Amino acid sequence: MDKKTIGIVGARGHTGAELITLIACHPALELAFVSSRGLAGQRVAEHSNAYRDELRYENLDPQQVAAKAADVVILALPNGKAAACVEALDAIAPDTLIVDLSADHRFDASWYYGLPELTRDAWRGERRISNPGCYATAIELSVAPLRDVLAAPPVCFGVSGYSGAGTTPSDKNDPEKLRDNLMPYALTGHVHEREASFRLGLPVEFMPHVAPHFRGLTVTSNLYLSREMKRDDVLARFRDAYGDEKLVRIVDEPPWVSRIVGQHYTELGGFALTADGRRVVVVATLDNLLKGAATQAMQNVNIASGLDEYLAIPM
């Protein structure tokens, strides 16, 4: 199989490490470069058990990234930092497939929004792909099957492991401050609240929290219905929506974060209805570094490269 070259910008973070692991096992991709200011000069293999070659991290500016002329570039940068690389790639290597993991292009209609289970049929050959946020992925998958029968904005309570706060030191990724604690933050206007609202076409109310565990998140969504429904009716909608999806699993009981860590799929469960059948609670769990980031990026790279969507994604 002819291999496409792929590079990662911002590879020092947790998601970058997961991407390296997926690419190292991919039969159709070859890692061409990994850009990281903090790890420049060090061998990638020293930081990834899956990678075996001699490639070293480099500290590349946007023009140097574009000059590498890789077939695919994944931007794993903090929010607000993607523009310079995109501008350089547009100017120097416009045919490059770009997958942006930040929020910078999730509201840009000229970029394909890559949540394959909901947007796969909308891809029209775009070479600029915005990868959804981890919480937004869980919210959108939880709400979409019932979107047309909602009577009020979904109310979503989220809890994530502290890997979601990145590697830059802060209260939200300090294990000592999180010990025996649940830390609320950005209780209105969180970027994933705005993203899910924009993509679902309805207002979403979202309250995120950070917990002491490292990875994995849960979103519990309170959904008010415009008409009475039975649990079997709700389940039928979710099974119709996701029954053929390899990376979405419908379970009967509310799923647990501890069971999703290291897995590449989302679990949706609970489906508890009130006695009047006018409110249902749906629970979603996913690994924020995998289906919430790296795995979803790999789905998008595969789709845009004409490959099987699930190639190199462990099932």
- Taking the C-alpha atoms of residue 261 and residue 70, their distance in angstroms, rounded to an integer, is 31
**What tokens appear for 128 in the block?**
């600029």
* Contact partners, residue 27, CB within 8 Å, separation at least 6: 1, 3, 311, 312
Q: Which CA distances in Å does 258 have to 8, 100, 285, 286, 307?
A: 29, 28, 9, 10, 31
Three-state SS at 76: coil
β-pairing, 128-130 vs 155-160, is unpaired
Cβ-based neighbour number of residue 188 at 10 Å: 8
- Strand-pair partners of 35: 9, 58
Cβ-based neighbour number of residue 33 at 10 Å: 21
Q: Which CA distances in Å does 85 have to 91, 139, 148, 294?
A: 10, 29, 39, 19
β-pairing, 205-210 vs 217-224, is unpaired
Active site residue 156: no
Catalytic residue numbers read: 134
